[in-house]
Amino acid sequence: RRSVTYLAPDAIAMLSEQIAPLILQVMTTRAELGLFRLCQQMLNASDTPGWSYVQSKYPELVQNDDSFFASVHWHVVRLSLLASVLCVFGSAVLGLWVYRLPIVIPMMCILAASLFWRYKNNLYEQGFRASGQIAVSTVLGALKLLVAALVFSLLIYWYGIWGAVLALAAVSIAAGVGYEWVYRRPALIRRVTA
């Protein structure tokens, strides 16, 4: 029963990422949906180093030591920049020689630019969890889902698959900025959890 509260933010976060394919399948062709899913998979693979690193530090994050969190933050930022470069390079190789889809390269350049904020989003979400602030994580996740639904719907309607790519990057950046902004405002967090 206690673990259900920890499951809610995960379920909401997964929905905010999966809402794009649901909207795309209604508004675009099957080929465009497949292309977007390919880009989404490469982006998710690029998320893995940051996610794995933060998870490996989670037991220490639970101790709620600000200097340790700052150290993890510094490593996450560096890791995100390296992942962005590798994401662009890897997607160029896959796009040109494996999938024979050169259009993947500019799409992945846009998405790779959001990795810095995706890494931060994950770090701050885990920071909320580690300090027992599950309610804050759940509220932010729900807001992210609502924003994602709106942004994806509008941009896909206006620009098709390019709208989906732009929306994914925009939502990732907005989420990273939002999570960090809330994390650095303890008074706001106390109001949410009160």
pTM for this prediction: 0.93
Residue 176 exposure: Cα atoms within 13 Å on the Cβ side: 19
Residue range 118-159, pLDDT digits in tens: 999 999 999 999 988 988 999 999 999 999 999 999 999 999
Judged against a pLDDT cut of 80, whether residue 56 lies above it is answered with yes
Judged against a pLDDT cut of 70, whether residue 193 lies above it is answered with no
What pLDDT does 4 receive?
72
Residue 169 main-chain phi, psi, to 5 deg: -65, -45
What pLDDT does 169 receive?
98
Task: Assess contact for 110 and 118: CB atoms under 8 A.
Answer: no
What pLDDT does 9 receive?
81
What is the percentage of the chain residues whose pLDDT exceeds 90? 81
C-alpha 88/C-alpha 116 separation (Å) is 13
Residue range 60-81, pLDDT digits in tens: 999 978 899 999 999 999 999 9
C-alpha 178/C-alpha 109 separation (Å) is 23
Helix (H) or strand (E) holding 110, with range, is: helix 104-112
Which residue did the predictor score with more confidence, 7 or 20?
A: 20
- With vertex at residue 134, the alpha carbon angle to CA 133 and CA 140, rounded to the nearest 5 degrees, is 100
What pLDDT does 194 receive?
59
